[in-house]
Amino acid sequence: MTSKVQQENREPGASTEKKLDELYGLIEKMDVCLFTTRRADGHLVTRPMQVQERTSGTDLWFVTDVETHKLEELASDPHVSLGFYDPKTREWVSVSGQAIITQDRDLIHAMYKPDWKAWFPEDGGDRDGSPDDPRLALILVEALSVTYFKKTKPQPLVLFEIAKAMLTGSAPKLGVERMLGAREVAKARRNEQERPLGG
């Protein structure tokens, strides 16, 4: 069952391409997410993590330290939830997916950013925050489904809609809530993988 607000803001019928364009724009704008894993005892753990790169449709890459507990959690249960939120616009993205961990040095070298050194300080020997630091690992989150909300009205109209809803008891129309199901996510991944380089 959905709430009246969700029903008012749902917009079925948008093309997969339109939804992907909106989704990519939202993730670029909100590049830090709350990354949720499940511990072996069943408890959920959430921490902020920054998206390093988006690839293959809706799949996202993150960098992490191999010495963190999240890798134990992902070994126990690779299912993750990513939550993005922009408090200025109230736009949000929810990604449900599966995580894959890699220490592939070629991938790490290809994605490496100098600011990673801040999170991997000098610790002697090759533990220097460089792409060859053995603490570096990448997490690929392969999206299984995505739901997002995109504001479609300027802020004054959003405030008007909220005030109107409070006075009339009706649901405010603030934007659009859209979903990308498993088939659309898989199609987006295939399409992007088949795209020629530089195209």
- pLDDT tens by residue, 101-112: 999 999 999 999
Q: Percent of the chain at pLDDT above 70? A: 89
E strand residue ranges, the chain: 32-38, 44-50, 53-55, 59-65, 79-86, 91-102, 136-151, 175-180
Phi, psi (rounded to 5 degrees) for 87: -65, -20
Whether 199 maps to a domain, the answer reads no
Whether residue 93 lies inside any domain: the answer is: yes
How far is 76 from 1, CA to CA, in rounded Å? 32
Tens place of pLDDT for every residue, the chain, 199 residues? 356 666 555 666 788 889 989 999 999 999 899 999 999 999 999 999 999 998 766 889 999 999 999 999 999 999 999 999 999 888 999 999 999 999 999 999 999 999 999 999 999 899 999 999 999 999 999 999 999 999 988 888 888 888 998 999 888 888 899 999 888 888 887 777 775 544 4
Question: Would 60 be classed as within a structural domain?
Answer: yes
- The answer to the question of residue 88 being in a domain is yes
CATH (domain of 170): 2.30.110.10
Residue 39 to residues 24, 42, 71, 175, Cα–Cα distance (Å): 30, 5, 10, 35
Q: Give the chain's domain count.
A: 1
Token duo for residue 124: 């002697």
Provide the domain limits for residue 179: 4-194
pTM above 0.75, yes or no: yes
